[in-house]
Structure 1
Amino acid sequence: MNFFEHQDQARRRTGLLSLLFFLAVAIIVVLLNIVFIVALAWSSHKPITLELVQAQPEIWLLGTAGALLVIFAGSGYKWLELRKGGRQVADMLGGRKIQSNTQDSDEQQLLNVVAEMAIASSMPIPDVYVLDDDSINAFAAGHQPSDAIIGVTRGCMEKLSREQLQGVIAHEFSHILNGDMRLNMQLMALLFGILFIGLVGRLLMHSSSRSRNSKNNAGPMIGLGLMVIGYSGVFFGSIIRAAVSRQREFLADASAVQFTRNPDGISGALKVIGYGAGSDVHNPASEEMGHLFFGQAFTSRLNIFATHPPLNERINRLDPSWNGQYLKPRVTSAPREIPSRKSTLDSATSAIISGLAGATSGGHADTKNQRIEPENNTTAVLSERQRALLNLQAAAIEPDSARILIFSLLIASPNKLIAREQQDLVRKQHGQQSFTTLLQFYPAAQTLLPGQRLPLVEKSLTALREMSPQQYENFHTTLVKLAKADGEIDLFEWCLYRLILQYLGAHFNTVHPAKPRYSQADAVASEIATVISYVACAGQEHPEDIDKAYAAGIAAGGFSAVKRDIAHTTSGSLNPLNRALAKLTQAYPHIKGRIIKALMATITSDRHITEDERDMVKTIATILESPIPKELIE
C-alpha cells in the first residue's frame, strides 16, 4: 500500500472541496442579492426588469456587504466561542482532563501511549481529556500544535488493546500535523456563519409579521428568503464539510500507519468498532463537532452527511487482505495496580546501572559531551547521577514540583553569590516550602549533562499546564528574573524560556496563534538568514567553519544567497533572533519546513551535532510549530 500516494490524493481532493465551500458562500451572496431585488420590486409595485437591476447598483453593494457581514458576524461569534482552542472543545463535549499523576491504570496507559506517539510524530505531549462515553472514539482539537489537546472516550480506553489504542492516538496526531485541527475549527465557524443567515431571517420574519405597517412591508419576504437561503446553505455546506472530513480521515489513517509502522493497530480499532462497540458519542455537540472525531460520532441516515468514510472502506485501505471479520472488544479486567513511584525508580535505576556497567566494562563509556574513564567507583558514580536524573524526571510529572524543577535548572551559575540570590528570589516569590524543595533539587540538577536538561523541560510541560492563571503569572515572572540574575541570557536559558512561552503562553492565552502571511521565502529572506546564521554560530568557533555551515543551510533550503549578518550574531544579544522568529511564525508551513531542513544541513555540515545545536534547532522547530527532525529525538 502506497501511503504517500493516498496522502497526496487526500490533500488534492481537500483543496478542491474547500474551494467548493467558498464557491457556495459566493452563490449564497448572489442569491441574497436576488432576494433584495425581488423584495424591492414587490414593495415598489415595479416589475423585475434589467433596467430596475441596473438602476439600483447600491442595492447590490448593500446586499453583498450585508450578506458578508452576517456570515462573518456569525463566523466571528463562533470563532470567539472557540478562542480557547482544544480546551474549549473538550469542555463543550463534557471532557475531563487526565492528571499527569493519575492512579487509574487505563488512564495511565493512555498517557503513556500519547507520550510515545508524541515522540514518534516529533511533537510535544498534549493535554489528554477523557469523555465518559462507552463508545470507541477520539478527537484532536486546537488552533495550533501548542494548544492542541487529545480527547478519548472511556470505551476507547477500556475496549481496545494497547496496539489498537496506539493506532487511534497516532491517527489523532496525524490530524495535528496535517493542519486538520485549524481547518476543522474554520469549517465549524463558517458553517455557523451560514446558519446565522437563516437565524437572522427567522428573526426578521417573526418581527415583521407582528408589525402593523402597511401591506407593502417587504420584511416578511426578505425574512423568508433569508431563512430559505440560510438553511439551504447549511444543508449544502454540511454536505461539503462532510466530504472534506472524509478525505482528511483517509489522510490521517495513512499518516497513522507511518507513525506506528503497524497497520494492524488502527485497522484493529476500526474492526472492534464494527463488531458492535460503535462510535456514536452521546453528547448534544457531537453532530456539530462530528468531523473532529476518529469515527462517525453521530448516526447519519444519508451517506452524504457522514463525516467519515464507511468502516469497510477504511479497513480495506489499511488491510487489503481483510476477510470481512470484525474483532471482539478487549475484555475489561480488574484494575491493575500501579507500582509505587519509589519501586519504579528503583527498578529503572537498576536497569540503567546494569546497562552502563556493561558499557564501561570494555574500558570506557563515551557520552556525547563527557568521557568517563574506568575507575573503581565508576558504577557508583554513574548510579548516583542516574538516580538523580530519575528523581528529577519523577518531579517533572508532578504539578507542584515541576515548577521548582524548572527553577533548579535555571540556577546553574558557577558564581555562588548569584546562585544564592536566585535561591532567595524563589523563597520570596514562592514561599519557604518551595525554597526547601529547590534545595533538594538543586544538587541533582547540577549533575545533569547538557543533553539531559531540555528533555526535562519538555517532560514538565504537561504538569505545568495544571497551574492556575495566577500561578502561571508568578511562575513566568520568576523565570525572567532568574534568567536575568547574572546579567546575560545564555543559549540554554533562551531555549528553556522560549519553550515555556510557546506552550504555556498558548495554554494561558498570553500568546495567540500567528496567522500565515508569507507564502514566498523571499518575503522573509533576511529573517531566514538571521536564524540560520545564529544556528551556524552555535556549533562552530572559527569564522570559516561558520561560513561553511551557513552556506550549507542556505543551499539545502533553496533560499536566496543573503549575506550573513555578522553584527547580529557577534553582538551577544538574542533579540535579533527573537524578532526574526516572530516574523517567521507567520510564514506558511511549506516555508517553515524548508527552514528546518536548512537548519539540519547547517548543524550537520561538520558531521557532528553538538548539544547546543540540538537544543537550538529543537526549540526553533517548536516555535515555528514544525515537527522536530527525527535525528534530534533521543
Structure 2
Amino acid sequence: MDFFGHQDNARRQSALLLVAFIVAMFGMATLIQVFIGSIMMFFGSADSLYELSLPAKCLIGLFWAAIVIGCLFRYFDVRGGGAVLAKRFGAEPVGSGQDKRQDQRLRNVVAEMCVASRCRRPDIYVLRNEASLNAFVVGGFKDNPAMVVTQGLLDELDRDELQAVVAHEYAHVANGDVPLNMKLFIVMGGLLAVDEIGSLLMHEVWDRNAPLHHPGILVGAVFKVVGFVGVVSATLIRSGFSRQREYLADATAVQYTRNPQALASALSAIRDADIDKPLQGHYAAEIAHLCFQGGDLSAWWKKLTASHPPIQKRIKIICPTGMQKRRQKKESRSEFQAKSLNTANEVTSLFGGSAFFADSGADTNTEVDSETEFTNEASDSADNNAIIVGDGVVISHDDDVFLEPLTDRASMMMQDASSCLAVLFAVFAVDESIDRRSYLSAVSFAYNQNFTDQVKHILEVLEADLRSQPNTIIEHATSRLSGSVQEENRRRFLKNLERLLIAEKQYNLTTYVTVQLLRHKLNADFPILTKKAEDANTPAEGVAAKTFDQMGEEFALLLSLVIEGSGAPEAEIDADYRRVLRAYTIENIPRSKSSDAGVIEKLEGAFQTLLVQPRPIRQAFVEHCREIVMQDNHVTKAEIALLKIFSASLGCDVAISRGNSDETSAQAA
C-alpha cells in the first residue's frame, strides 16, 4: 500500500470538503436572508431583500440566536475533555476489568503507537458492556483526548489487529481530527437547534387547532425548512469529509504499523461481527460518526450520509488480499501451534535468538502472554511448514537444519571454557577466504602463544567437524561459555574478535553475521536498549527514539542490502530499491552497497536505532524484508545471511521456504 500517496489524496479531498462546508454555512446565512426577505416582500412588509422591516430583522435574529444557543449546548458538552465524554458514555478506565493481561496488552499497544505517532498518550477507557467491535477517540479543544475501545474488541482481535485499530485512532489524533470533529459537532448542534425549534413551534400551534396562516405555524415552517436544508446539506458535506478522514486515518495507521494486513484483517473481523453485535448503548447514535466503523450501509441513502466508507472498500484499498490471508491464518494457527509445541525441544537453528540463552539471566518482556501470542501470529504469514522455537528462532521443518549430535572427538575437545573459546576462534580460521597463518599470528598477538597453539591443535583435530557441523559446535561452545564465563568477559572476547577480524581485513558481511550469532548466543547484545524498547510499563517515554519520518537513512541502508543480495542486474536492483523505499520515506536516498566503506558501522547504527522501536514495528519490517526476498521465489545465500542477522539483531522472527532456489543452505532463520 502506498500510504503516503493515499494520505496526500485524502488530505486534498478533505480540504475541498472543508471549504465546501464553510461555503455551505455562508449559503445558509444567505438562504435565511433571502427566504425571510421573500416572505416579507410577499406580504408587503418589505420593499427589497436588503431593506427588511423590524419583524423580519427580529425573525433573522431568532434564527441566529437559535444557532448560537444550540452551539453553546454542544460546546459545554465537549469542553470538559475526552475523559468527561468517555465517562458520560459509560466507559471505565483501563485496568478495571477482570482480565488484567488483556488490559495490559491494550496499554502496551497504545504505548507503542504513542512512539510511532509522536502523540501524547491519551487516557484509555473500555466500554465493558459492549460486545461490538469498535473504538473511537473523543476530546475537547485542548490536548486532552481519550481513547475508548469496546470489550468485544479486546475479546475478538489478536494483538496485531488490536494494534492496527489503535493506530487508526491515533491517526485521528495526529491528523487533528479530534478538535475538528468537535467543532463540526458544535456547528451541527446549532443547525439541529433551528430544525428542532421549527418542529416545536409547529406542533405547539397545530395542537391548538390554529389556522394555517397563524404566525406561529408560519414562523415554525420557516425555521423547519431552513433548518432542514441546513442540516441535510451540512450532513452530506460533513459525512463526505468524515469519510475522507477515515481513508486518511487508515493510510496513516499503515504508516505507523507497517502492517496493512493487520488493519485489513481487523476490518474483516469487525465487518463480520457487526451484524450480530451492534452498539447496544443509548449513546450509539450519538457516537456513530466517531467509531472505527459506522454500521450497515446497505441502503443507498445511508451511503450518502454515512460518516465511514464501506468496510469492503477500505479493505480493498488497504490490502486486497486481507480477507484471504485472515482465513488462511485462522485455518493454519491451530496446526502451526501444535507443531511448535511438539518440536520446540528437538530443533535449534544456527542463527537463533533468546531461546538459546533462556536460562542465562537475560531480560524478558513483562508482557509474556501477549508477546508470545504476537510471535506465533506473526509467523503465520510464513509458509505453513514453518516451525517456531522461540524468540527469533524460526525454521522450516522440511529442510535439513536439525543439528546433528556432537561427535565424541569434538566433545572431548571442549571440556572447559578455554577450549570452547579456542574453538570459536577456530571457526573463523576454516574459512577459505582467510589467510590462516596471518590470522593465527593475530590471535597470538591478541592473547598468547599457548592459546594460539590450542587453536592450532583444534584445527588439526576438528577441521572436518568444523566444516561439516559448525552449527552444532558453535551451539555447544557458546552454551558452555554462557554458563561459566562472566558477561563482561564474554563482551571482551567479542570485542577482541571483532578487532582481530578488522585488522585482518576480514570483517565483511559474512563474518559479521557469524559474530552477531555469537553475540546473541552469548547473551552479550544490547540489554539496555532492549529493556527500554520492551518494557511494558515505560515503553519509549523517556527514550529519544527516532520516528519513521526520521529513520529514512536506516531503512534505506537495510533495504539496499536485502535487494542487493538477490544478485539481480544493477538496473533491476535500482528499480526494486526505489519501489520498496517508497513505503518508508518520500526522500530520494541513494542506494548503499555492501562494498561501501563503513557499511558495517552503519549497519550497527541502524540496528541500534531500530532496536528501540516497539517490537511489532520491528517485526513488520523484518516480515517486509522476507517478502522482498521471496518475491522472485529464489533465495540466495546472501539473502539468507541478511535475513538471519536482521531477525537476530532486531529480536524478531522470520520464516522462509526454499522456493525454487537451488541453494541447499536456503534455510529459515
TM-score of the pair, normalised by structure 1: 0.50
For 2:167 and 2:150, the matched residues in 1 are separated by: 15
User: Which structure 2 residues correspond to residues 268-347 of structure 1 after superposition, within 5 A?
Assistant: 268-278=265-275, 280-297=278-295, 301=299, 302=301, 303-321=303-321, 327=327
For 1:304 and 1:212, the matched residues in 2 are separated by: 38
For 1:189 and 1:223, the matched residues in 2 are separated by: 23
Q: Is the 8 A contact 1:75 1:192 kept in 2?
A: yes
User: Which structure 2 residues correspond to residues 202-213 of structure 1 after superposition, within 5 A?
Assistant: 202-208=199-205
For 2:305 and 2:540, the matched residues in 1 are separated by: 49
Aligned residue in 2 for 1:142 = 139
For 1:350 and 1:136, the matched residues in 2 are separated by: 40
For 1:134 and 1:329, the matched residues in 2 are separated by: 23
Q: Is the 8 A contact 2:202 2:221 kept in 1?
A: yes
Gaps of 5+ in 1: 334-346, 367-384, 398-451, 457-634
For 1:111 and 1:137, the matched residues in 2 are separated by: 17
For 2:281 and 2:489, the matched residues in 1 are separated by: 58
Aligned residue in 2 for 1:36 = 36
Q: Structure 1 residues 126 and 200, CA, compared in 2 at 3 Å: closer, same or farther? A: same
Q: Is the 8 A contact 1:203 1:223 kept in 2?
A: yes
Aligned residue in 1 for 2:377 = none
Aligned residue in 2 for 1:130 = 126
User: Which structure 2 residues correspond to residues 376-395 of structure 1 after superposition, within 5 A?
Assistant: none
SS at match of 1:151: strand
Q: Is the 8 A contact 1:14 1:248 kept in 2?
A: yes
1:181 aligns with 2:178: yes
| Matched residue type, 1:286 | A
SS at match of 2:125: strand
| Matched residue type, 1:205 | M
Aligned residue in 1 for 2:237 = 240
| Matched residue type, 1:263 | P
Q: CA deviation at 1:252?
A: 0.6
Which one has a bigger Cα radius of gyration?
A: 2
SS at match of 1:288: helix
For 1:77 and 1:93, the matched residues in 2 are separated by: 17
1:196 aligns with 2:193: yes
Q: CA deviation at 1:120?
A: 1.9
Aligned residue in 2 for 1:221 = 218
| Matched residue type, 2:179 | R
For 2:297 and 2:200, the matched residues in 1 are separated by: 30
| Matched residue type, 2:169 | E
SS at match of 1:253: helix
SS at match of 1:130: strand
| Matched residue type, 1:288 | E
For 1:215 and 1:268, the matched residues in 2 are separated by: 57
Aligned residue in 2 for 1:505 = none
Listed one character per residue, the Cα deviations across residues 423-470 of structure 1 (whole Å, up to 9, x for unaligned) are xxxxxxxxxxxxxxxxxxxxxxxxxxxxx99839xxxxxxxxxxxxxx
Q: Structure 1 residues 365 and 123, CA, compared in 2 at 3 Å: closer, same or farther? A: farther
Aligned residue in 2 for 1:112 = 108
TM-score of the pair, normalised by structure 2: 0.48
Q: Is the 8 A contact 1:33 1:60 kept in 2?
A: no
Number of aligned residues: 365
User: Which structure 2 residues correspond to residues 565-576 of structure 1 after superposition, within 5 A?
Assistant: none
Listed one character per residue, the Cα deviations across residues 505-553 of structure 1 (whole Å, up to 9, x for unaligned) are xxxxxxxxxxxxxxxxxxxxxxxxxxxxxxxxxxxxxxxxxxxxxxxxx
Q: CA deviation at 1:316?
A: 1.1
For 2:126 and 2:266, the matched residues in 1 are separated by: 17
Aligned residue in 1 for 2:542 = 455
SS at match of 1:140: strand
For 1:157 and 1:36, the matched residues in 2 are separated by: 53
Q: Structure 1 residues 325 and 220, CA, compared in 2 at 3 Å: closer, same or farther? A: farther
Q: Structure 1 residues 453 and 175, CA, compared in 2 at 3 Å: closer, same or farther? A: closer
For 1:320 and 1:281, the matched residues in 2 are separated by: 27
Q: Is the 8 A contact 2:261 2:322 kept in 1?
A: no
For 2:140 and 2:230, the matched residues in 1 are separated by: 25
Aligned residue in 2 for 1:588 = none
For 2:66 and 2:285, the matched residues in 1 are separated by: 23
For 2:359 and 2:179, the matched residues in 1 are separated by: 40
1:2 aligns with 2:2: yes
Listed one character per residue, the Cα deviations across residues 191-212 of structure 1 (whole Å, up to 9, x for unaligned) are 1110000122233334555789
Q: Is the 8 A contact 1:70 1:196 kept in 2?
A: yes
Aligned residue in 1 for 2:362 = 351
Listed one character per residue, the Cα deviations across residues 158-196 of structure 1 (whole Å, up to 9, x for unaligned) are 111111111111111101100011111112111111000
Q: Is the 8 A contact 1:280 1:299 kept in 2?
A: no
Q: CA deviation at 1:236?
A: 2.6
Aligned residue in 2 for 1:504 = none
Q: CA deviation at 1:138?
A: 0.8
For 1:159 and 1:89, the matched residues in 2 are separated by: 25
Gaps of 5+ in 2: 335-357, 365-481, 496-526, 544-669
Q: CA deviation at 1:59?
A: 6.5
| Matched residue type, 2:67 | I
Aligned residue in 2 for 1:11 = 11
RMSD: 4.3
Q: CA deviation at 1:258?
A: 0.9
Aligned residue in 2 for 1:164 = 161
| Matched residue type, 1:121 | S
Q: Structure 1 residues 300 and 86, CA, compared in 2 at 3 Å: closer, same or farther? A: farther
| Matched residue type, 2:291 | F
1:93 aligns with 2:93: no
